[in-house]
Amino acid sequence: MSLSRIRELAQQILEDTAEIDSRLECNSLPSPSFGVNFTQEILEKSNISRARQAVLEATDELHALMLGPIGQLTSHSHEINLTLQALYRFNFATFVPLPDSAFTDVPTVTFSEIAQKTDLSESLVKRFLRHAMTYRIFCEPTEGRVAHTAASKAFATDEGVRAWVGLVGEEMWGAASRTVDAITKWPSSSEPNHSGFNLVHSTPTSVFDFLSSHPLRQSRYTTALSWFSSMPALSPTHILHAFPWTSLTPDSTVVDVGGGHGAISLALAAAFPALHFVVQDRAEIVAARRLRQEGPVEWMAHDFFAPQPVKGAAVYLLRWVLHDWADGYAVQILRALVPALGPGARLCVAEVVLPGPGSGSLFEERKVRSMDLAMLGFHNAKERDRGEWEELLRRADARFRLVEASRPEGSMLTCMEVGWDGGEPEDVGNEKSIG
């Protein structure tokens, strides 16, 4: 008799968790726990990625089956966003003591001591923290005393994690809550200032313009994005293998358009030291950097809607840039490159390529479709599938040609190599030309 789906899933979970335990044990690493000494690196740096992914997918399906159809519709908790926003805003984690070493007892603090430091009532502190504890963020080893778990310790000690939780709680969650209202108000708009973000923050400017006049929020956005980009699925290392960088002649120039703080160019420069890199971003992002040059990497303020000033570069890299913009604007960004493109120029466009519906794991597909809706709520923008990417390139200029699209294992982004079938770059006076 064949096994039911729930027993098939349970069987698979049993086998894959056994593999995880034995691999961790072989490396003298602990089995996953919520204990304060367990870290994300143990999961991510160990050789367990296949089995871990399989357990995540199987438990996700098993959980949905056990909830049942009504449970699937009604059991989602938006209140976790409320609690995470409160953890961020009131800094609860910093008032809970950290253990001195892995071998000492986990220290505790009372709800009332935390309340005194936050100026909130003890009752409110208790309500937020006890809700967080149901997600294993903090614990209460003896009644009335709060201690860290692995997750709350990560929140207390990792600035990038804190910035990410802050960005989601303070900016993105509110934007999501007003996205349907924004679509109702501006039904067929593709303007970046017609989003849930605009409604919730009562601002007429786009996210990037808004952040530029709010330096603390800009700095949180940048820290959060840098942290998020360092996650395994977005690690700069994927792009090292997904594009034929070794085919470039020494001294070639790569222009990293909308390159932020340059994490990708710095990683590429370390791997391919014979290449030169120009990282371009908005003036305030470039101004926030202490150095304008680090080895072969140079930073330049440039609005990517204006004609590209670096002419004749070998590669124009756009990583995770076009998904912030609706089609009309993404077309403008691509067209602004055209006057700079010489024979043989290539684009490297690294972005999510949405999978065909149900073509792979729903657990993985949910992540990129969530990202798509996050872009809608934040920028009135979107993620795209392969056909939409091809159409976008065609609309920008018929001389763009998608040569190759490859997604390295474990990468959220696909690297699209785009060829250029045009002639010499346009000669526009004294703009910078690369030899």
Ligand X SMILES: C[S@@+](CC[C@H](N)C(=O)[O-])C[C@H]1O[C@@H](n2cnc3c(N)ncnc32)[C@H](O)[C@@H]1O
255 near ligand X, judged by CB under 6 A: no
Interacting span for ligand X (CB under 6 A) from 109-117, 196-204, 254-262, 425-433: 254-262
Three-state DSSP class for 97?
Answer: coil
Q: Is the four-CA dihedral 31, 33, 37, 41 of positive or negative sign? A: positive
Residue 259 in the binding site for ligand X (CB under 6 A): yes
Question: Residue 120: helix, strand or coil by DSSP?
Answer: coil
Any contact of residue 90 with ligand X (CB under 6 A)? no
Distances in Å between the alpha carbon of 117 and those of 137, 146, 222, 248? 19, 14, 28, 57
Query: How many Å apart are CA 224 and CA 163, to the nearest integer?
Result: 5
From the list 32-40, 102-110, 160-168, 320-328, the region that binds ligand X by CB under 6 A is 320-328
Which range, of 279-287, 288-296, 341-349, 363-371, touches ligand X by CB under 6 A?
279-287
**In this chain, which of 303, 391, 404, 424 binds ligand X, going by CB under 6 A?**
303
Considering the complex, state which of residue 252 and residue 332 has its C-beta at the smaller distance from ligand X: 332
From candidates 174, 192, 196, 260, binder to ligand X by CB under 6 A: 260
197: contact with ligand X by CB under 6 A: no
Shortest Å distance, C-beta 221 to ligand X: 8
Shortest distance, CB of residue 399 to ligand X, whole angstroms? 23
* Distance from C-alpha of 365 to C-alpha of 376, rounded to nearest angstrom: 17
- Indicate whether 324 belongs to the interface with ligand X (CB under 6 A): yes
Using the rule CB under 6 A, is 264 a contact of ligand X?
A: yes
Q: How many CB atoms lie within 10 A of CB 410?
A: 13
**Chain centroid, CA 113 distance in Å:** 35
Identify the residue whose tokens are 């010489």.
Answer: 342
State which of residues 137, 168, 285, 314 lies at the interface with ligand X (CB under 6 A).
285
Cα–Cα dist 345/316, whole Å: 8
Question: CA 169 to CA 163: how far, in whole Å?
Answer: 10
Q: Which amino acid is located at 69 in the chain?
A: P
Within residues 210-239, the interface with ligand X by CB under 6 A covers: 225, 229
> Binder to ligand X among 135, 186, 208, 272 (CB under 6 A)?
208
CA 32/CA 52 separation, integer angstroms: 11
H or E element that contains 396 = helix 386-396
Q: How many CB atoms lie within 10 A of CB 180?
A: 11
Please choose, out of 1-9, 19-27, 119-127, 319-327, the segment that lies near ligand X by the rule CB under 6 A: 319-327
How remote is the C-alpha of 362 from its chain's centroid?
19
**209 binds ligand X per the rule CB under 6 A:** no
Among residues 304, 378, 400, 420, the one that binds ligand X under rule CB under 6 A = 304
Residues whose CB is less than 8 angstroms from the CB of residue 236 and which lie 6 or more positions away in sequence, other chains included: 229, 263, 264, 266, 267, 268
CA distance 155 to 180: 31
Nearest CA to 337 out of 422, 272, 263 is that of: 422
# chain residues binding ligand X, by CB under 6 A: 18
Binding-residue pattern over the window 30 to 69 for ligand X, x denoting contact by CB under 6 A? ----------------------------------------
Please report whether residue 319 would count as binding ligand X according to CB under 6 A: yes
- Cα 279 to its chain centre, rounded Å, is 19
Q: How far apart are CA 169 and CA 158, in angstroms?
A: 16
Q: Does 282 bind ligand X (CB under 6 A)?
A: yes
One residue of 57, 171, 281, 417 binding ligand X per CB under 6 A? 281
Q: Measured from the CB of residue 394, what is the shortest distance to ligand X in angstroms?
A: 23
Task: Decide: is 383 part of the binding site for ligand X (CB under 6 A).
Answer: no
Closest distance between ligand X and the C-beta of residue 352, in Å?
A: 11
The residues annotated as belonging to the active site are 323
Residue 265 in the binding site for ligand X (CB under 6 A): no
Contacting residues toward ligand X, per CB under 6 A:
208, 225, 229, 258-260, 263-264, 281-282, 285, 303-305, 319-321, 324
